[in-house]
Amino acid sequence: MRFDAVVAGVGMTRFGKHLDRGLKDLGAEAVEAAVADAGLDLDDVQMAFVGNCAAGTVTGQESIRGQVVLHPLGVGRIPIVNVENACASGSTAFHQACAMVSAGFVDVALALGVEKLTHPDKTVSFAAFAGAVDVEEVAELLASLSADREPDGSRPDGSRPDAAGGNGGGANRSRSMFMDVYASAAREHMRRYGTTAEQFAAVAAKSSYHGSLNPRAQFGEVMTVDDVLAAPMIVEPLTRPMCSPIGDGAAAVVVMSGAEARRRGLPEPVRVAACVLHSGWDHAVDEPGTVELCSSEAYEEAGLGPADLDLVELHDASAPAEVMGYEALGLCAPGEGGPLALSGATRLGGRLPVNTSGGLLRKGHPVGATGAAQIVELTEQLRGTAGARQVEGARVGLAQNGGGKKGNDAAAMCVTILTT
């Protein structure tokens, strides 16, 4: 589907543990900032899509999350559509807003991603992630993850974990089960391609530098590769900085049709060149999956390829996910993601900066807000307003955001290309 849509305004909270703030407060900050950035009033918004993943589990709010969040702002009467699509909830909300303005149903639409994940009882937060798999298959999934270890308990490279390491049984109790999913994929990548823990650590170290330049990032500490490797082991081979944190936050995007942007005289708008959404399906392990499908269609729709990109916001829920994302998006050949991470090419000043925001690892991952936050980062980069983390001359940016698990793939995946 070809879109006729532009990003007219963006707004975002700082991501972090906002124990004293709720969905309404976080959402209001992002929405008001985005509408003001677009030079509009809230009355100009004709339709809203609100992405949220975990409110039902964490706060108890079900069914009317978007209406509840927007009502204090005086937003009512218009259609408000609640979007729940795992970690891709925010990007799905953006996709739907772009589709509606492109189809001519409305001229101005709002996409909001908002999430409250922190809770005094961490098992409640972890339970929110547990619902992003087929609940009838959880026991089978956990058993398969537990079985995916070297017979002697060693790491995939043959070395031994220390007493605090290993592949433990803490999924859903002391950590999200998705860290076990990513760790299993990482171990397979290490076995198949010789990828090393140092290469995964390079991703986390690079993103920590980027995050230190982003005032809205959850973490601002700069870490070296050695710092990352020396951090506590969560599940082999993932140390703590290689895992995205639990946090809260909101990000909002005002979308206009191209015609409305021209009518309003919007100066140099950021254009939605492509936005592709797919769900996972049953396919062979070695066959292309959702990332490859979404990105190939997005490149075709935009008339661009990986070589045309100036920056990428990639769904690095773990450091290995970024390495594998390089390969799936066509930024390098299969098996070359690890060397690419270690080369410095994806760092600011490198050939193709990735996750200039700090990514999920350092900016944070309030799951329903993440996809919209990627659009905020790309928009600011393409406008040239990203400050200390600005990519010089950025004209084309790609965002990849997915989540959930069904079978051997993500349950939902979205790839967006923005251009000036």
Classified as helix, coil or strand, 300 is helix
Q: What is the C-alpha R_g of the chain?
A: 20
Residue 312, strand partner residues: 354, 398
Indicate whether 165 pLDDT > 70: no
Classified as helix, coil or strand, 164 is coil
Which residue in this structure is represented by tokens 């290995």? 320
Query: Active-site residue among 18, 95, 210, 365?
Result: 365
288 lies in the same domain as 219: no
Residue 208: inside a domain, yes or no? Answer: no
Question: Which segment of 5-14, 84-93, 235-244, 403-412 scores lowest on mean pLDDT?
Answer: 403-412
259 lies in the same domain as 402: yes
Calculate mean pLDDT across residues 54-67.
96
pLDDT tens-digit series, residues 360-400: 999 999 999 999 999 999 999 999 999 999 999 999 999 99
Indicate whether 149 pLDDT > 70: no
Q: What six digits make up the tokens of 35? A: 């509408």
Question: Which segment of 168-182, 193-207, 363-377 scores lowest on mean pLDDT?
Answer: 168-182
61: domain CATH number is 3.40.47.10
Calculate mean pLDDT across residues 277-293.
94
Positive or negative: CA dihedral 24, 271, 378, 343: positive
Indicate whether 173 pLDDT > 70: no
pLDDT at 340: 98
Top-confidence residue, 97 or 162: 97
How would residue 66 be classed by pLDDT, with cut points 50, 70 and 90?
Answer: very high
115 lies in the same domain as 126: no
Indicate whether 160 pLDDT > 50: no
Verify whether residue 365 is a known catalytic residue: yes
278 lies in the same domain as 365: yes
pLDDT at 25: 98
137 lies in the same domain as 87: no
Parallel, antiparallel or unpaired: strands 233-235 and 270-279: unpaired
Q: What is the DSSP letter of 167?
A: -
How would residue 4 be classed by pLDDT, with cut points 50, 70 and 90?
Answer: very high
Indicate whether 204 pLDDT > 80: yes
CB atoms within 10 A of CB 101: 28
pLDDT at 155: 44
192 lies in the same domain as 287: no
Domain that holds residue 93: 5-119+246-419
17 lies in the same domain as 147: no
Residue 171: inside a domain, yes or no? Answer: yes
Phi, psi of 52 (to 5 degrees): -155, 145
CB contact set of 369 (below 8 Å; sequence gap of 6+): 15, 30, 51, 90, 113, 114, 115, 249, 250, 251
380 lies in the same domain as 257: yes
Residue 232: inside a domain, yes or no? Answer: yes
pLDDT at 175: 75
263 lies in the same domain as 225: no
Question: Which segment of 117-131, 159-173, 261-275, 374-388 scores lowest on mean pLDDT?
Answer: 159-173
pLDDT at 98: 98
Give the percent of the chain with pLDDT over 70. 93
Residue 265: inside a domain, yes or no? Answer: yes
Question: Which segment of 39-48, 168-177, 275-284 scores lowest on mean pLDDT?
Answer: 168-177
pLDDT at 217: 98
Indicate whether 159 pLDDT > 70: no
pLDDT at 158: 42
pLDDT at 41: 97
Verify whether residue 294 is a known catalytic residue: no
pLDDT at 1: 74
Query: Active-site residue among 87, 98, 243, 275?
Result: 87
Residue 318: inside a domain, yes or no? Answer: yes
113 lies in the same domain as 131: no
Residue 55: inside a domain, yes or no? Answer: yes
Mean per-residue pLDDT of the chain:
92
Residue 178: inside a domain, yes or no? Answer: yes
The CA distance from 203 to 175, in Å, is: 21
Indicate whether 170 pLDDT > 70: no
> ω before 237 within 30° of 0 (cis)?
yes
66 lies in the same domain as 134: no
pLDDT at 176: 77
Give, for 304, the enclosing helix (H) or strand (E).
Answer: none
pLDDT tens-digit series, residues 331-368: 999 999 999 999 999 999 999 999 999 999 999 999 99
pLDDT tens-digit series, residues 243-279: 999 999 999 999 999 999 999 998 889 999 999 999 9
CB contact set of 184 (below 8 Å; sequence gap of 6+): 145, 148
Total-model pTM: 0.93
| Domain count along the chain | 2
The CA distance from 131 to 52, in Å, is: 13
Top-confidence residue, 40 or 178: 40
328 lies in the same domain as 186: no
CB contact set of 337 (below 8 Å; sequence gap of 6+): 189, 195, 199, 322, 323, 324, 325, 326, 327
Residue 207: inside a domain, yes or no? Answer: no
The CA distance from 148 to 193, in Å, is: 17
Indicate whether 164 pLDDT > 60: no
Indicate whether 128 pLDDT > 70: yes
Would you say 240 and 226 are in contact if contact means Cβ atoms under 8 Å apart? no
How would residue 285 be classed by pLDDT, with cut points 50, 70 and 90?
Answer: confident
